[in-house]
Amino acid sequence: MPSKPLFQPVARHRDRTPLEDRVLGALMRLPFARSVECETRGGIVVLTGVLPSYYQTRCAEDVVKGLEGVAQIDNRIMVRAA
């Protein structure tokens, strides 16, 4: 008798907001920040990912800070030396 899995994986896909599109577009212009991800809640932007230096995390934050619709940034990018 085949057993059923204990849980079914759930796809966690959702459409991006216009602000997320702007943030990701700005980050794509920084070659080192292409792995950074974002989520928005109102005008709050949460940045996540891993970069090799603190300087790069600040550069990513500075690029996002100047975008229309960004009220606050929660920079959760981790620094991990390559």
pLDDT tens per residue across span 71-82:
999 999 999 986
Helices 18-28 and 54-65, interaxial angle, to 10°? 130
Is the pLDDT confidence value at 47 over 60?
yes
- CA dist., res. 46 & res. 40, Å (int): 6
CB atoms within 10 A of CB 35: 11
Mean local confidence (pLDDT), 34-59: 96
The torsion region of residue 25 among left (phi > 0), alpha (psi -120 to 50) and beta comes to alpha
- CA dist., res. 46 & res. 53, Å (int): 18
Residues in the chain: 82
The structural architecture, per CATH, of the domain 18-79 is 2-Layer Sandwich (3.30)
- CA dist., res. 33 & res. 78, Å (int): 12
Confidence band, pLDDT 50/70/90 cuts, at residue 15: confident
Per cent of the chain over pLDDT 70 is: 82
Is the pLDDT confidence value at 24 over 60?
yes
